[in-house]
A and B are shown apart, each in its own frame.
Chain A
Amino acid sequence: MSNKEKYDNVFIECFGVTSDVLNEKFIYQCVPTWDSVGHMGMIAALEDAFGIMMETDDIIDFGSYTIGIEKLRKYGVDVLA
């Protein structure tokens, strides 16, 4: 599985959405499942999927599907590779 597939799967499974909505408009609280509970569930799933541990500041700044791609770069994960 590519990093992009792993990344998308976390969103699809955590928020119950389909892959066609995953773009720069997919932001925190844009669907009911992406609330503060869903947010921490997604972070945990991303950490498991990529074997990383994120800092609190990055979790707070992780405000959209697109911003998340940037944040993961800091941990050596290139989602778009």
Chain B
Amino acid sequence: MIDVAPYGLEQNAKLEYLLAELNRLSRLHYDHCVHYRRLLDALHNGSAAAGTLDAVPYLPVRLFKHHELLSVPQQDIVKTMTSSGTGEHGVSKIFLDRFTASLQMKVLASIMSSFIGKQRLPMLVIDTPSTTANRQKFSARAAGILGFTMFGRDVTYALDDAMKLDLDKIAAFLTRHDGEDILIFGFTSLVWEHMIQALGPEGLKLPLSRAILLHGGGWKRLLSLAVSKEEFKSRLFGCTGITRVHNYYGMVEQTGSIFMECEHGHLHSSSFSEVIIRDPIDFRACDVGERGLIQLLSLIPHSYPGHSLLSEDIGEVTGIDDCPCGRRGKTFIVHGRVKNSEARGCSDTIPR
């Protein structure tokens, strides 16, 4: 499955491929997860295969907060991931077996290779080392950082334990990698507050024009501060000279098959994932340009029934196979969260 090029499939071929794989996953979870089977028996046509992609049954993502859903024996679980603890309705628990955990990394590596190439780059993480210190229980934030460190070398944490930029450490890192491309990873709200804003008032600048910034984890906090994507990018450029910026969208329930923002500002589905926009009233699949709830499909989840999930985010499809960046697949943008839903971005987890 991983041998497919991440953005190489023409849409009809991709739909055919995804449908077969997603039907296989629905069947797998139907046979091995009793909760999933009950839901499908009650709400869908049992284990019958879907004839089209938008007929593949989907679960509300919230369900993972209320139920422990798994499709493998408990003893096969090697890692449990949790979503942020900010939601009022508890924490999602996602159970990974070896196969699913390995698939997460392979899919992520395939997607990333389209954006940064196969070489590992010197990497600066906009976070504090203590975030990843608790190895028994990974927060979504820690899991995100650790997943991406596979693409880096000389991984250096740019913030100290007080969440302040460690300028001496950063300077030493930049000296070690003078003239090289570097990778910067951070959660959107942390990059904004602890890098861009921290540099701002004193007019400090970091010479990072050779860097590629990868950031994700939601805009919720920034939206609440009324920071637009354009302002984020222009302020970032002003204090660091960074022009290569890729936001990504995804959820802990489908870790690995992230949706990367290309050079033209569109989020891209890959060969391992798809989005369907659904009308929030009647849940029909929307057309290009119509706003609705974002349903996310992923080929990764084998140990829990998370291959087709309805999020609480609002978005719209912007095109199919027609992005000027040359990557195939459906593109979309995210407008924000449904009112009255929970704020649950994985980077928005610092207690205030």
A: which residues have CB within 8 A of B? 28-29, 32, 35-38, 40, 44, 47, 53-57, 59-60, 63
Contacts and interface: CB of A to CB of B under 8 A. Distances in A.
B98 A60 contact: no
B149 A40 contact: yes
B118 interface: yes
Contact of A47 (B98, B146, B151, B153): B153
Contacts of A38: 135
B210 interface: no
B43 to A, nearest CB: 36
A57 to B, nearest CB: 6
Contacts of A60: 102, 105-106, 109, 150
Nearest to A38: B135
A35 B105 contact: no
| Closest CB pairs A-B (n = 5) | A60-B105, A36-B146, A56-B109, A29-B78, A56-B150
B120 interface: yes
> Secondary structure at chain A's binding surface: helix, strand, loop or mixed?
helix
Contact of A53 (B78, B98, B102, B153): B153
A39 to B, nearest CB: 9
Interface string B25-65: 00000000000000000000000000000000000000000
Contacts of A40: 146, 149-150, 155
B119 interface: yes
B132 interface: yes
A28 B109 CA distance: 18
Interface in B150-165: 150-151, 153, 155
Given A47-B153, A56-B150, A37 B78 contact: no
12 contacts: A37-B135, A38-B135, A40-B149, A53-B153, A55-B118, A55-B119, A55-B120, A56-B150, A57-B118, A60-B105, A60-B106, A63-B102
B135 A35 contact: yes
A44 to B, nearest CB: 7
B150 A29 contact: no
A37 B153 contact: no
Contacts of A56: 109, 112-113, 118, 120, 150-151
